[in-house]
Amino acid sequence: MRYDDQRSWMVNKHLIPRKIDNKKLLEAFYKVPRHLYVPDRFRRFAYEDYPLDIGHGQTISQPYMVAYMLDLLNIENSDKVLEIGTGSGYQTAILAELAAEIYTVERIPELMITARNILDEQGYKNIYYRVGDRTKGWEKAYPPTQEFDKIVVSAASPSVPQSLINQLAERGLLVIPAGARRSQDLILIEKRNGETIETRHGGCTFVPLIGSEGWDAE
């Protein structure tokens, strides 16, 4: 089976039947070649619906979970999006298909280098990169940016980092897995009149968010 066929199979089997029906989001999943963002030894599994090891104790997330989180954010083409956890770069590419500007933060330099090389080869021009403490978001980074319409966190925190809440624009949305180190709830936060409104959207399991407002490294 060709990779194009496998992408279509993934969307039609794992996303659409599970009520992912945002047309623009589905188009991004049809388009972005997930196999480019996984190590060569795992490429035959690239369009299965489970996470895969990308090294350094990190994973590329399950396709359905990526779709579900981004569906909750209801991303508009004018949005400025902060991504916490570049990882493989796959979700970054999906975001770059959906929004005006993507600001992505990764803790591990080697992962950032690999992801950026792939994203550059794919021709994305609307992505800004930072290596640093992911719990601090885009603080003191370039280009200077104070607020984001949407924030997606792809690692699990014991609670929602205050620095990220501070960087969420009024009426903005933030999605994050939060809870215990090995088991979390998926939390959606909306900022209204400077206050946050929180809803929960099921259990999940993500790698830990290491940083000054997250977990300590083991």
Residues lower than pLDDT 70 in the chain: 1
Q: Give a yes or no: residue 107 inside a domain.
A: yes
User: Has residue 215 been placed in a domain?
Assistant: no
Q: Structural domain of residue 116, as residue ranges?
A: 49-204
Residue 181 lies in a domain: yes
Q: Does residue 136 form part of some domain?
A: yes
With 0.85 as the threshold, say if the pTM is over it.
yes
Q: What is the dihedral of CA 148, 153, 157, 162, to 10 degrees?
A: 0
Q: Residue 109: enclosing H or E segment and its boundaries?
A: helix 109-121
Q: Which residue has the tokens 């990308």?
A: 54
Q: Please give the positions annotated as active site.
A: 61
Number of domains in the chain: 1
169-190 residue pLDDT tens: 999 999 999 999 989 999 999 9
Determine, yes or no, domain membership for 77. yes
State the CATH number of the domain containing residue 112.
3.40.50.150
Go through 63-91 and write b for each residue having 16 or more CB atoms within 10 A of its CB, e for each that does not: bbbbbbbbbbbebeeebbbbbbbbbbbbb
